[in-house]
């Protein structure tokens, strides 16, 4: 039976009911909610495991890091370095993370998203394990290449990639499986999507410093709020398998409020920091970007987070990522 305060979850449409949906194939390829079963092309299946839709914030994090470094120029070499770092952060390391997560989440996905490649039987566990190994080895190798290319003596990009790979493992895999704890798991996810690619982009064109590290870790608390959004689609499976996601612990309504407050409060805190370092114009722009987020939170997410999670992310998150770039530019102009 559902926990008190948690309404019944409407099951995902069966493959037969959405097979005629012209957008279902695209959603499947991108790794989005509401895909369809029946794909047989192994490379499309592998791509679905890597969830390309999740690469975007990590690629954007590299852009923000390059901006905050103050050392990026529009020379061909710098553009190629940035593009290579985006390949590292998005397709390789995020692809590794998502494939690893699907491997360890196969029992939950069998309940929440049975059309996913592993529970649907579209790909074998041996093939999935091989994909995980190839992606992480390729990612770490590319990180070393970037450090050599940038002339780093202490290999900060490689260390960041190693930390990201380790966080991905303890987030998904037992015995720690951080995602079992709604707070720790979501913060690890938020930091992986905001702080780590930011560090990689910054280190590539400048020098990491304690202020930037602390600031981006603080910003990652807003990322914790974003990570909570993804928990609403998995309430049924999380309940059955005993995972303490925030919607399971607090109920749908309270968890929705925690989610939006984390996003807004910590962004506002970053705006306050920009004011403290005399970057007033950037602080005002960041605050102006928070306002439409709040509007969409009220319009969609707070009213029905189970139904409107994807719609909310599509409408509100562009303002969040633009705000990240504003912060990066402000730091780069110090």
**Strand, helix or coil for residue 244:** strand
Q: Let me know the angle formed at the C-alpha of 85 by 64 and 273, rounded to the nearest 5 degrees.
A: 20
pLDDT at residue 108 in the model = 86
**Strand, helix or coil for residue 181:** strand
Instruction: Give pLDDT tens digits for 283-312.
Output: 999 999 999 999 999 999 999 988 888 888
**Alpha-carbon span 316 to 310, nearest angstrom:** 10
Q: pLDDT tier at 22 (50, 70, 90 boundaries)?
A: low
Phi, psi for 162 (deg, rounded to 5): -60, -45
pLDDT at residue 41 in the model = 86
Domain boundaries in the chain? 54-332
Instruction: Give pLDDT tens digits for 38-94.
Output: 677 899 999 999 999 889 989 999 999 999 999 999 999 999 999 999 999 999 999
* Among the listed residues 39, 51, 26, 33, the one whose alpha carbon sits nearest the alpha carbon of residue 101: 51
Instruction: Give pLDDT tens digits for 170-228.
Output: 999 999 999 888 899 999 999 999 999 999 999 999 999 999 999 999 999 998 888 88
- The CA-atom distances, in angstroms, between 257 and each of 2, 5, 264, 290 are 20, 14, 11, 16
């Amino acid at each position: 039976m559902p926990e008190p305060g948690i309404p019944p979850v409407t099951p995902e449409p069966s493959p037969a009911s959405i097979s005629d949906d012209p957008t279902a194939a695209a959603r499947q390829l991108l790794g989005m909610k509401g895909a369809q079963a029946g794909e047989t092309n192994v490379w499309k299946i592998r791509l679905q495991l890597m969830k390309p839709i999740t690469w975007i914030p990590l690629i954007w994090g590299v852009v923000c890091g390059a901006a905050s470094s103050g050392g990026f120029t529009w020379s061909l070499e710098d553009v190629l370095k940035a593009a290579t770092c985006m390949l590292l952060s998005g397709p390789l390391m995020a692809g590794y993370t998502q494939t690893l997560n699907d491997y360890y989440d196969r029992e939950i996905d069998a309940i929440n998203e049975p059309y996913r490649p592993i529970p649907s039987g579209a790909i074998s566990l041996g093939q999935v394990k091989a994909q995980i190994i190839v992606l992480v080895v390729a990612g770490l190798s590319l990180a070393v290449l970037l450090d050599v290319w940038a002339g780093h003596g202490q290999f900060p990009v490689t260390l960041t990639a190693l930390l990201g790979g380790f966080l991905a493992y303890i987030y998904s895999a037992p015995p720690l499986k951080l995602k079992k704890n709604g707070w720790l798991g979501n913060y690890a996810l938020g930091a992986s999507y905001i702080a780590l690619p930011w560090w990689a982009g910054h280190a590539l064109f400048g020098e990491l410093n304690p202020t930037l590290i602390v600031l981006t870790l603080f910003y990652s608390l807003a990322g914790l709020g974003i990570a909570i959004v993804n928990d609403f689609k998995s309430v049924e499976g999380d309940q059955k398998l005993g995972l303490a996601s925030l919607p399971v612990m607090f109920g749908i309504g309270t968890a929705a409020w925690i989610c939006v407050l984390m996003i807004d409060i910590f962004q506002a805190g970053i705006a306050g920091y920009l004011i403290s370092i005399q970057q007033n114009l950037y602080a005002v722009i960041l605050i102006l970007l928070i306002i439409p987020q709040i509007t969409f939170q009220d319009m969609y997410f707070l009213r029905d987070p189970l139904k409107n999670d994807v719609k909310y992310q599509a409408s509100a998150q562009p303002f969040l990522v633009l705000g990240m770039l504003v912060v990066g530019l402000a730091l780069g102009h110090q």
